[in-house]
Structure 1
Amino acid sequence: MPPRPRRTTDPGLLLPGQVAAEIREGLPAVAEEVVAAIIDEVPSYTDAFNGPMGARIRGAVEVALGGFLSLASSRHGTDPRTPTAPAVDGAYQLGRGEARGGRSTEALLSAYRIGARVSWQRMAQGAVRAGLDAETLASFAALVFAYIDELSAASVAGHTDELATTGRVRQRRLERLAHHLVARSDVTEETVRAAVDRADWPEPRTLTAVVVPESQVRPLLAVVPPTTLQAADPPGLDEGVLLLVPDVHGRARARLLRALPERGAVAGPARPWLSVRASYERVLRARALGLGHDTEQHLTRLVLTADPEALADLRAQALAPLAALRPGTIDKLADTLRLWLLLQGRRDDVAAALFVHPQTVRYRMGQVREAYGDTLDDPEVVLALTLALGAPP
C-alpha cells in the first residue's frame, strides 16, 4: 500500500501565476533533459529508457512537475511540499515496477537525485526569466526538493514492498543460479539452464566475475546491469561478495573498471556465460597474489605463478650452474641476469635499475657467462631463464 502524503507546515510561499506559467511552458524540455541525464549517468537505465519506457517516464516527469507548479501557485492553502495522493500512488507503483525489473533502490534514488538536480536547474532559469526575486527563489528551491523527496520516498516504499513478496522468492532463485554457475563440475549444464528458467533470468552473451567487499556491494550495483547475479558465499571465497556481471565485454568493460579501484574490487575476464567459473577462478588467484582491480593487467604474473611448484623447480633447474657459489652471490647474479634478459642486454639500463656502476654489471655478467658457457646462446635456455626469473621467488 502506498504511503499517505505527509502533512507539513505552511510553506509560506505562493508562486505568482505568471512565474508558474513561464516555468510550465518549459516542462517538456525539462522532462527530456531529465531522462537524457539519467540515461547518461545511471547505466542500468540505459536500455530501460530507450523506446516506449522512456516516453512514459518523460510524461511522468512532466506531470509530476506540473502538479507541483499547480500546488505552488494555488491560493487554496495547499502545501506544495506534499504531493497529491495520485502522485504518491504513481511513485509507489514506479518503485514496485523497478523492483520487478531487477533494478536496485540505489539506481532508483540515483535517478531521483539526477531528476531533482536537472529539474531545479531548468525551473530556476524559468523563474529568473519571469522576474522571481532571490529570496522567493531560495524558498522555491526548498519546496522543489522537498516535493521530489516525498515522491522518492514513496518509490522506495513500493520497491521494498515488492521485494518483500514475489521479489524475495526470485532473489533466492537468482542466488542459487549464481552458485550453480561457479560450482565445481558436478553441476551439469542442464541443471544450470533449469535454474535460469526458474529465475526468469535473460541469458547474456558473457559474464564477468567481480569480487567486491560486502560494504561496497550496494554502491557498485548502481553502476552495473540490473540482471547482475550475486553470490554471498561462493566456493573458495572467504570474504566479500561475488557479482556475475552480464555483457561488460569489449568497450563496455571500461565503465565497469572505472568503478572498481576505489571500492577494493577485482574483476576477472569476460567469458561465455556458462564458462564464468574460469573468470571467477582468475579473480581468486589475483586476490591471493595481491594484484590490482583488473586481472587482465597482470596476465604475465598470473601465468608465471599458475603452478608454484613447477616454477620453483624450473628456477632451481635454471640456476643450477650457479649452485656452487655463495647464496649471496647467487642472488646478485640472478638479479643481474634477470634484468639483463628483460632489458635485452642494455648494460647502462641494467646498472640504473640495480643502482650499481655499469662496470659492476659487466663483472657480474662475466661470472654468469663463465658459469653457463655457450648455453646462454641456446634459445631454450634463455626462455627457461626468462620464465624462472620473471617472477619473485
Structure 2
Amino acid sequence: MAAKVTSATVRGAAALQMDDAVLRVLRERLPAIATTTMAAVVDEVPDYAGALGGAAGDTIEKAVQMAIAGFLKLAGGGRDVDPSTPLGPTREGAYALGRGEARGGRSMDSLLAAYRVGARVSWRELARTAAEAGTPATTMAKFAELLFAYIDELSAASVAGHTDELTTSGRVRDRYRERLGQLLLSGAGADVLTAAAARAEWTPPTSLTAVLLPAAEARRALAPLSVDTLIVGEDLQGIEEVDPDHPLTLLLVPDADGPGRRHLLRALAGRHAVCGPPRPWIDARSSFDRAARALALHPVSRGGEPIDSERHLADLVLTADPTAVADLRGQVLEPLAELAPATRDRLAETLLSWLLHQGRREEVAAELHVHAQTVRYRMAQVRELFGDSLADPAVVRELVIALSAPSAAPATRR
C-alpha cells in the first residue's frame, strides 16, 4: 500500500474547498495578476531590474503565470491533482527556473527575493479578487495557508535546481580545467591550448607557476590562491615518487611572478611545497620540470617552508647532467686520485674554499675551522699536485664546478 502523502501543500489543498464560481473569477484575473506580480518583482529585486521586455522578463512572466495557474488548480480542493505529485509540472518548472537562473549568473538570494515579492503581491491580488467574490473569512485563511505552503515548496524546488546546476556545471568546468592542465604538461600546441582554455571558461594569464605538494594538502593550499589556479592530480610524468602512498598534486598558479611570487610563497608558508619559476602560460611544462628537479634535490619535509626553485639554480645546473659532472670530476681532479681518501677529501675541501675566497688564507681558515698555517700547508700540497694549472681561468672554473657539485667526492682512478 502506498504511503500517505503528508506535505503541507497536499493537506492544504485537501482542506480548502473554494467555490467554483470564485475559481472561475480568479482564473479570469490570472493574466492581470501575473502582470502585476511580475512588475513588482522587476521593480523590487535589483538583479531583475530592467528585465521587462527582455529574455529574463519572458522567463519571469512564464514562471509567474505557471505558478499562479498551478496554485489555482490546487485551490480547487485538489480534485484534479495527483496526490503523489502535488505540484506536477509546476514543481518541475520551478526546478528548471532555478537551474536557468544559475546559468544566467543570478544568485539564489535574488530568486528567493523574487519568490517573497511574488508571494506578497499575488496574495494581495488573489485575496482582493476572492473577497470581492464573497469568499468567507475562514476560507480566506485556508486560502492564505495554502498559498504560502505552495510558495515554500516551489522555492525549495528552485533552490534544488539552482544548487544542482552549479554543482553540475562546476564539475564539468573542473574536468575541463584538469584536462587543460594535462595538455599543458603534454606540451600541446598553442591552438589546442587556446581551445581547451575556452572550453574550460579559463582566461589565459600572462604566466603560470608550477607548485608541487602532497595531494592531501592541495585543497587547503588553494584557499589563498587565484580561483583560476589549475589542478592536476594525475599523470604527473617526470616525477619519481618517493612514497607511493602519498601522491603529489600539481597546481599551476596564474601570474605568480614579481610581487605575486612573494604572495605565493607566503600563502604556502608551513606547507610541504616546491615552487617552479613563472613561465608564459603555454610553456607551463618548463615550470613543472624545474619544480620536479628541485623536488628531487630537496625533498619536502613536514613543517618546513616551501622550496623556491629559484634559490637553488646553481644546484640545479650542477645536477642537470650527473654523468657529465662525474666525468668532469674525473678529469680535473685527476691529480688527487692517488691520495688516501682522508687526505684527498681534506685537500679538495681546502682547494674549493681557497678558490671561492680568492686565496684569502684567513677567510679559508675561518670557514674550515683550522689554523691559517694549516691552510698554507695544504695549499702547498695542492700546488705541488696541480702545478701551474691553478693559474689557468678555464681550469679554475672546472675545479669550482667539479668541487661544488652535490656529493662531489673526487673521482678515483680505476
Contact 1:260 1:266 in 2 (8 A): no
**Could you report, residue by residue, the CA deviation over 1:2-25 in whole angstroms, capped at 9, with x for unpaired residues?**
xxxxxxxxxxxxxxxxxxxxxxxx
Structure 1 residue matching 2:270: 3-state secondary structure: helix
Paired position in structure 1 for 2:178: 175
Paired position in structure 1 for 2:371: 357
Contact 2:210 2:276 in 1 (8 A): yes
Q: Any gaps of 5 or more consecutive residues in structure 1?
A: 1-54, 57-92, 102-155
Following the alignment from structure 1 to structure 2, what is the Cα–Cα distance between the partners of residues 273 and 159? Answer: 33
Displacement of 1:304 in angstroms is 0.9
Change (3 A) 1:97 1:373: farther
Change (3 A) 1:265 1:340: same
Paired position in structure 2 for 1:283: 291
Following the alignment from structure 2 to structure 1, what is the Cα–Cα distance between the partners of residues 160 and 404? Answer: 56
**Could you report, residue by residue, the CA deviation over 1:93-112 in whole angstroms, capped at 9, with x for unpaired residues?**
9xx979x89xxxxxxxxxxx
Following the alignment from structure 1 to structure 2, what is the Cα–Cα distance between the partners of residues 159 and 339? Answer: 68
**Could you report, residue by residue, the CA deviation over 1:273-329 in whole angstroms, capped at 9, with x for unpaired residues?**
011111100000001001651101111111111111111111111101222222221
Specify the code of the residue in structure 2 equivalent to 1:228: T
Paired position in structure 1 for 2:168: 165
Structure 2 residue matching 1:382: 3-state secondary structure: helix
Change (3 A) 1:193 1:219: same
1:334 equivalenced with 2:352 (yes/no): no
> Root-mean-square deviation (CA), in Å?
2.6
Specify the code of the residue in structure 2 equivalent to 1:245: V
Contact 2:212 2:249 in 1 (8 A): yes
Following the alignment from structure 1 to structure 2, what is the Cα–Cα distance between the partners of residues 157 and 296? Answer: 48
Contact 1:178 1:231 in 2 (8 A): yes
Contact 1:209 1:276 in 2 (8 A): yes
Change (3 A) 1:163 1:235: farther
Paired position in structure 2 for 1:191: 192
Number of matched residues?
A: 244
Structure 2 residue matching 1:356: 3-state secondary structure: coil
Contact 1:248 1:270 in 2 (8 A): yes
Contact 1:261 1:293 in 2 (8 A): no
- Normalised by the length of structure 2, the TM-score is 0.55
1:247 equivalenced with 2:249 (yes/no): no
Larger Rg belongs to: 2
Structure 2 residue matching 1:242: 3-state secondary structure: strand
Contact 1:260 1:293 in 2 (8 A): no
Following the alignment from structure 2 to structure 1, what is the Cα–Cα distance between the partners of residues 309 and 162? Answer: 35
Residues 34-73 of structure 1 aligned to structure 2 (within 5 Å): none
Following the alignment from structure 2 to structure 1, what is the Cα–Cα distance between the partners of residues 338 and 163? Answer: 71
Residues 202-221 of structure 1 aligned to structure 2 (within 5 Å): 202-221=203-222
Change (3 A) 1:224 1:159: farther
Change (3 A) 1:179 1:160: farther
Q: Any gaps of 5 or more consecutive residues in structure 2?
A: 1-45, 48-97, 107-158, 242-246, 300-305, 409-414
Moved over 3 A (4+): 156-163
Paired position in structure 2 for 1:319: 333
Structure 2 residue matching 1:263: 3-state secondary structure: coil
Following the alignment from structure 1 to structure 2, what is the Cα–Cα distance between the partners of residues 240 and 159? Answer: 34
Paired position in structure 1 for 2:316: 302
Specify the code of the residue in structure 1 equivalent to 2:404: G
